[in-house]
Amino acid sequence: MAPSLDALEHEALAALAQADTSAALQAWHGKYFGTKRAKGELERAMSAIASLSPAERPAFGRRANEVKQALAAAFEAKQAAVKEAELEAAMKAGALDVTLPGATIPRGRLHPSTLTLRRIIAIFARMGFEVYRSPEVETDEMNFGLLNMPPEHPARDMWDTFYTTQPGVLLRTHTSPGQIRVMRERSANGAQPIRVILPGMVYRYEQVTARSEMQFNQVEGLAIGRTITFADLKGVMAEFARHMFGSDTRIRFRCSYFPFTEPSVEVDVYWGLATERDRMITKGTGWLEIAGAGMVHPTVLRNGGYDPAEWSGFAFGMGPERQAMRLLGISDIRYFWQNDLRFLEQF
Ligand code: DAH
């Protein structure tokens, strides 16, 4: 029987040499090592052991095992070689194009108001101002009364708003009530100096037009100290304007009126009159209003827990959307809150 094992080995190795594809290899393996359904040639050859004399059996068994191991090793080596060759062929045929772009994941982006707010915050941060958050739903007292506008004060007409069903609770018309909140917090255990900005949304009962919305952001500023003067306000506004609009930006102050500051001013930056658009933006003056400001009124200081004989301060309030419109060339304020992607995707 031994010669037939030799022949089997010989034949199987020759067939293996011819098997150059995965499919051919699989067929070869099935033929010699068997499948679930059919016995393989090896097993069949080994069954011949039954017809041998007991003396012949050990040698036959040993030889059969040698053949089995040799074929298994040869198969493994050939299989590895075929796999590599097939992968190489597939890559050559271009089946795997590693230069194809991947699936793009849509990325979000920041709203133009957020972009502008962040710029403003960063500029004030460099001048030592921290951000202080205060609520959008306010009391009548915070929004008006403590800011030197008692009930029936005519200045309230400048800031009509939305009232809630709860008496005395409204949507704030400006970020100025935050001044009272921060002053009360910082004076609770002995008055401390303050240098904060208060960014956030405000609301007005307004007819919505290209120039005015019923909601928009403001950035309030407040600095309280023992030696704060109007010169500090001027320096801070000039520095802000230079960082926001360019290093050669000129500013000017115009007299104005706010119940919570004395004296009160409007701050303008010089925009220029070079183009028709400049003329439109600045209403023909070349100057662009960026903020209301002034020295904090003694009554407001007192309402915040600061003694006006010892402390003084300046405050300002600016509108980032107005500035964003100028900086980004947005012609209509209504675009900001319409959530139209054709608008938002431009920034
Ligand atoms: N609160 C004012 C407004 O909404 C803006 C303003 C003016 C804020 C002068 C201030 C200020 O802090 O000092 O129109």
- pLDDT by residue (tens digit) across 109-133? 999 999 999 999 999 999 999 999 9
CA 144–ligand 1 middle distance (angstroms): 12
Give the atom of ligand 1 at the shortest distance from the alpha carbon of 222.
12
Rounded Cα–Cα distance for residues 150 and 147 (Å): 8
* Three-class SS state of 201: strand
Across 53-62, 71-80, 92-101, the highest mean pLDDT is recorded for: 71-80
Give the start-end residues of each E strand in the chain: 130-131, 137-139, 169-171, 194-203, 215-225, 251-256, 261-270, 287-296, 312-318
Residues comprising the binding site for Mg(2+)?
A: 262
Q: What whole-number percentage of the chain has pLDDT above 90?
A: 70
pLDDT of residue 93: 83
Rounded Cα–Cα distance for residues 223 and 58 (Å): 103
From 257, 258, 264, the mutation candidate for ligand 1 (largest count of ligand atoms within 8 A of CB) is 258
Is a pLDDT exceeding 80 seen at residue 103?
A: yes
Question: Which CB contacts under 8 angstroms, 24+ apart, belong to 264-269?
Answer: 264/292, 264/293, 264/294, 265/292, 265/293, 265/294, 266/291, 266/292, 266/293, 267/237, 267/241, 267/291, 267/292, 267/293, 267/316, 267/318, 269/241, 269/245
Q: How confident is the model at residue 3 (pLDDT cuts 50, 70, 90)?
A: low
Residues with CB under 6 A from ligand 1: 174, 176, 220, 258, 261, 292-294, 315-317
Tens digit of each residue's pLDDT (9 = 90 or more) over 274-294:
888 788 778 899 998 899 999
CA 200–ligand 1 middle distance (angstroms): 13
Instruction: Please state the rounded mean pLDDT for residues 312-325.
Output: 94
Lowest mean pLDDT among 41-50, 89-98, 330-339: 89-98
Instruction: Please state, rounded to an integer, the average pLDDT across all residues of the chain.
Output: 92
Rounded Cα–Cα distance for residues 213 and 102 (Å): 42
Q: Which fold has domain 112-344?
A: BirA Bifunctional Protein; domain 2 (3.30.930)
Q: How confident is the model at residue 22 (pLDDT cuts 50, 70, 90)?
A: very high
CA 102–ligand 1 middle distance (angstroms): 51
Nearest CA to ligand 1 atom 3: 174
CA 255–ligand 1 middle distance (angstroms): 13
CA 285–ligand 1 middle distance (angstroms): 22
Nearest CA to ligand 1 atom 12: 316
Give the atom of ligand 1 at the shortest distance from the alpha carbon of 294.
13
Tens digit of each residue's pLDDT (9 = 90 or more) over 199-257:
999 999 988 988 789 999 999 999 999 999 999 999 999 999 999 999 999 999 999 99
Higher model confidence: residue 241 or residue 104? Answer: 241
Rounded Cα–Cα distance for residues 345 and 120 (Å): 22
Q: How confident is the model at residue 1 (pLDDT cuts 50, 70, 90)?
A: very low
Is a pLDDT exceeding 80 seen at residue 94?
A: no
